[in-house]
Structure 1
Amino acid sequence: NASRLAQLSAEAIGLVESAEPSVTGLNVSLGRALQEMSQIDPGARSLLEEQRAISGQLSDLAASMSDYAEQLSLDPEQVKEVEERYNLIQTLKRKYGSTLTAVLEYGAKSAKRLAILEGRDEELFRINSEFANIDDQLRSIGKTLSKKRKEAAPKLVKEVEEQLNNLGFMRSRFEVQIIDNSELGKDEAVILGTGFDQIEFLFAPNPGEPFKPLKSIASSGEMARVMLALKTVLASQDQIPVLVFDEVDSNVGGETAAVVGGKMKHIGVDRQVLCITHLAQVAAAANRHYLVVKEIIEDRTITRVEMLDAAARVGELTRMLGGHGEAARQHAKSLLG
C-alpha cells in the first residue's frame, strides 16, 4: 500500500504543479482573465478575489501533499522508481495520446507495423516465388500456343485457299507467317498479350506475284473477299458479333457474286453481317434489304436509308439486274427463292 500511496501522491502533486496543463497553471490563466475582466468591469473584482483565494488554497494543498509524501516510509529506490514511472507515463501521454488508453492503442498499432516491417523479407520472397511460378506457367502456355499455331497453319492455308478459289481468286495463294521473338533477335523474356509469336497473313492474288502482307492489299474489294474467306473458315471459332463488308463484290461476275452472297448468309447464321453491295445476287442472300437513297430537297442533298418490304425488294433487285421487263422481275424473284 505504501508504494501505491506514494504513486498516487506523486500523481496528485504532478496534477497540481507539473502536469501539462497543471491545475496551478490553469488557475494562473484564470487569474489573468479575471484581472482583465475586473479592469473593464469593477463588478468582476469579487470573482478575482475568489480566484486569489483558490490560488492560496492550491498552494497550501500542494505543500500539504508534499509533506504527506515525505512522511510515507518508502525506500529511496522505491520513490525513485515511482517518480521515473510517473514521468515516463507523462512523457508517453504528451507524445502518443492524452490518456493511457490512447497510448496503449498507439503501442498496439506500432507493434503491428513493426511486425510487418520485420517480415518484409519473407513477404518479398513469397511474392517473388509467386511471380516466378506465374512466369513459368506463361512460358509453358506460350510454347504450347506456338506449337498449336504451327500445327494449325497448314490446315488454315488449305481451307482459305479453297474459299478464295470459290470467290474468284482461281490461282491465288495464301500463307500464314509465324515468327517468334528469337528469330527476330528479340529478348525471349518479352511476352506479348498474343504470346511469343508475331503472325502475318500473306496473300498473292495472281500467279508470279510475291506474297504481300494482307494489310498491304490495295484493293478494298480484294481485301473484303479475303476477309470473307477467312471468316467463312473461322465462322465457328471467333467471337466477333458484327461484321461489315464494303464492296465485297467488286470485280466479280454473277456466278461468283452468288457464292459471295451464300458465304455471307452462312456467316450470318451466328452473327450480324452488314454488306454494301451493287449486285443483286449478293443482296438477295440477305434476310433484310435496306436501300440507300440520295435526293436533293430545297437545294440540299439528303441521304436516307429505308428497309424494303417484299414487293419493294423485288423491284429493287430487278433494277440492280439492269432490267425493267417481266423477265428481269422473274429473275429477281428466283434469286429470292
Structure 2
Amino acid sequence: MLQQINIKDLAIVSTLEVELQPGMTVLTGETGAGKSILVDALGLVLGDRADTGMIRTDCDRAEITALFDTRALPAVNQWLEQHTLDDDGQCIIRRVVLRNGSSRAFINGSPAPLKALQELGDQLVDIHGQHAHQSLLRRPHQRQLLDEYAGHTALCRQTDEGYNAWREAEQRLATLRTSAEERGARIDLLRYQINELTTLNLGENELDGLLQEHGLLSNAGNIIERCNFALVCLDDEDDAALSRINRAHGQLLELARLDPGLQSACELLDSAGIQVSEALSSLRHYTDNLELDPARLEHLDRRLGEIHDLARKYRCKAEEIPPLLERLQQELDQLDHADTHLAALQQQVEMLWNTYLGQANQLSESRRSAARRLAEQVSQGMHTLGMPNGLLVVEVTALDMERASANGLDQIEFLVSANPGQPPKPLAKVASGGELSRISLAIQVATASCTQVPTLIFDEVDVGIGGGTAEIVGRLLRQIGNSQQVLCVTHLPQVASQGHHHLRVEKGSNGQETHTSLGRLEGDSRIDEIARMLGGVEITPHTLNHAREMVERING
C-alpha cells in the first residue's frame, strides 16, 4: 500500500507531502490547480520517462519519494529479497530528475535502473487513465488477469512445471544427439586418456606417502648429522649430559643419607638419568635404521615427476587425478551405451511433451470458458458506465506448437468496441482516454477480487459522463476501495462524495511565482468542496444542503 509521497520542485509544486490511507481517496480541485501532478509524480517514481520540462522553473532538479508498506505483499518482498533490496516490510522509491536531462533512481537507498522501478512498480501500483503506466494494456497482464479471474493458479503452475520438465529433457536429448554424432572421435580420445591415467596407477593415498618419504630421504644427511650431534651432547663426552647427571646423582645420594630432605631431588635426578638413557637408545636405533639411499630418492623423484607432469597435462591438481579418471570412465560408459540412453531419453521427452500438452489443453479449455464469462461481466459494467453499446471480447487464440511456452498454448488479448458497428479492437488502440479509463474500471471491478496490485490510481475516469452514471462510477470505485487502496482524481461531486477520504489541491500565487498545496478535507470543509463542485462560483444554502445530503447518504 502507498503510505506517503513527497514531491519537490516538480511542475508548479515547490514542496508537497501527501499521506495516504487504505480505502478510496478522492482528489479534487479547480481546473488547472494541478490535480494530475500527483499522478505524474507517481508515474515518474514507478519508472516513466522523465522530461526536464517537468522541473520547476529556476530549479536544477525535481525529486519524488514514495513510501510503500509491503508487509502484506509477499511477491513484492520476494522481489526485493532477490535483488538484495529488502528493508523489513517497507519500500522507499526515490527518483531524481536533473536539469541536464539525466535522472537517478533509488530503491531502499540503493541505486537502481529504471527497469527495476518498472518491474517493482507493476507490482505496487496500477494507473488507469490517460497515462502510459497501464499494465492492463499489455497482453501478459491480460493473460494473468484472465487466469486469476478463472482461478487457474494450480493449473498454471502445473503447466509451467510440465513445460520446463519437457524443455530440460529435450535439451538433454539434443546434447546427447550431438554427442552421438561426435561419439567416435570422443571415444578414441577418452580411451587414450583413460589408458594414460590407468597406466600411471596412482593410488588414492599414494601421493601423500610419496611426498612424506621424499621429504625424509632428501633430508636424510642433515637428519643423521644432527642426531649424531645430539648423541655426543648426551653421552659421548666426559662432560655430556648423562655423565653430569650420574655424577650429580652420586653426590646427592651420599648426602641424602645424612639429610632425608635431599631424597626428592635425588629421585628426580635418577629419573632424569633413566629418561636420557632411553632417549639415547631411541636415537641410536633411529640413526642405525636411517640410511642415505640415492637410488630410492631418484625413484621417488621420477615417480612424483610423472604424477605432476600428467596433472599439468590435464590441468588439474595431482590429488584430483583419481576422481578425473573415474569421471572419464563414466563418460566413456555413457558413450558406449549412447544408443540405449538415446532411446530412453527420446521416450521420456515424448512422455513429458504429452503430459504438457494435456495440461496446456486443459488450461486452454478453461480459459475459453472463463473468457466468455469475463467478457460478459465487463461488457455489462461498460453499459452501466455510460457506454451502452460497449463490448469487450476476450480473445483466446491457439498458438502453433512451435510457440509453446510455460504459459501454455494460447495468446490472450482484450478487444473492445465502444460504438455500434465498430469492430472490436485491441484495448491498447482505444483512442479516448475517458473511454479507456471506464473500460479499465469495468475490468477492474470484474477482477477486483483476484488482482495482486494493492494500489489503483484512476485519473479522470469520469470524463464525458455525469448524473446517474457518475454516481455509479463512484460506487464502483468505493466498492474496490473496500478491498484495495484507490486514489481517484475527479471533477464530479457524485464521485467525490463516495470517497472514504478527501484531498483538495489548490493553486496559489504570491505575485512572483505559482505554487500548489494540498489539504485533507473533513466535515464542513468537505461539504463546502462538494458544494463548489455542484454549484460553481456561487454557493447557495440549497447547494450546501445537497452536498451534505450526498455525503451523509454514503456515510450514513
Interval containing the TM-score (normalised by the shorter chain):
0.5 to 0.7
- Paired residue for 1:222, among 435, 440, 453? 435
Unmatched tracts of structure 1, length 5 or more: 1-9, 24-64, 70-81, 98-104, 183-187
Paired residues for 1:96-115 under 5 Å: 108-115=319-326
Amino acid across the alignment from 2:460: E
Between the aligned partners of 1:179 and 1:209, the Cα distance in structure 2 is 21
1:203·1:214 contact (CA, 8 Å) conserved in 2? Answer: yes
Aligned to 1:307: 520
Amino acid across the alignment from 2:301: Q
- Paired residue for 1:149, among 367, 373, 380? 367
Aligned to 2:501: 288
Paired residues for 1:248-263 under 5 Å: 248-263=461-476
**2:384 matched to 1:166?**
yes
Aligned to 1:79: none
- Paired residue for 1:297, among 469, 486, 510? 510
Deviations 1:193-220 (A, max 9, x none): 5332111111111111121111111111
Q: What's the offset of the Cα at 1:12?
A: 11
Aligned to 2:395: 177
Between the aligned partners of 2:329 and 2:416, the Cα distance in structure 1 is 62
Distance 1:11 1:304, change over 3 A: closer
Distance 1:201 1:327, change over 3 A: same
Aligned to 2:313: none
1:244·1:275 contact (CA, 8 Å) conserved in 2? Answer: yes
Structure 1 residues 172-181 or 105-114, which shifts more?
105-114
Q: For the pair shown, which has the larger CA radius of gyration, 1 or 2?
A: 1
Between the aligned partners of 2:428 and 2:214, the Cα distance in structure 1 is 87
SS at match of 1:275: strand
Aligned Cα root-mean-square deviation (Å): 3.6
**2:411 matched to 1:198?**
yes
1:145·1:195 contact (CA, 8 Å) conserved in 2? Answer: yes
Q: What's the offset of the Cα at 1:87?
A: 3.9
1:96·1:106 contact (CA, 8 Å) conserved in 2? Answer: no
Unmatched tracts of structure 2, length 5 or more: 1-212, 223-290, 309-315
Q: Which has the higher contact order (CA 8 A, sep 6+)?
A: 2
Distance 1:300 1:88, change over 3 A: farther
SS at match of 1:119: helix
- Paired residue for 2:548, among 329, 333, 337? 333
Distance 1:95 1:299, change over 3 A: farther
Q: What's the offset of the Cα at 1:114?
A: 2.8
Distance 1:296 1:177, change over 3 A: same
Give 1 or 2: higher strand fraction.
Answer: 2
Distance 1:321 1:196, change over 3 A: same
Distance 1:289 1:12, change over 3 A: closer
SS at match of 2:321: helix
SS at match of 2:413: strand
Aligned to 2:486: 273
Q: What's the offset of the Cα at 1:189?
A: 3.4
Aligned to 1:238: 451
Q: What's the offset of the Cα at 1:297?
A: 3.2
Distance 1:326 1:13, change over 3 A: closer
**2:333 matched to 1:118?**
no
Distance 1:13 1:274, change over 3 A: closer
Give 1 or 2: higher helix fraction.
Answer: 1
Between the aligned partners of 2:528 and 2:386, the Cα distance in structure 1 is 28
Amino acid across the alignment from 2:547: A
Q: Percent identity?
A: 31
Q: What's the offset of the Cα at 1:86?
A: 5.1
Distance 1:293 1:115, change over 3 A: farther
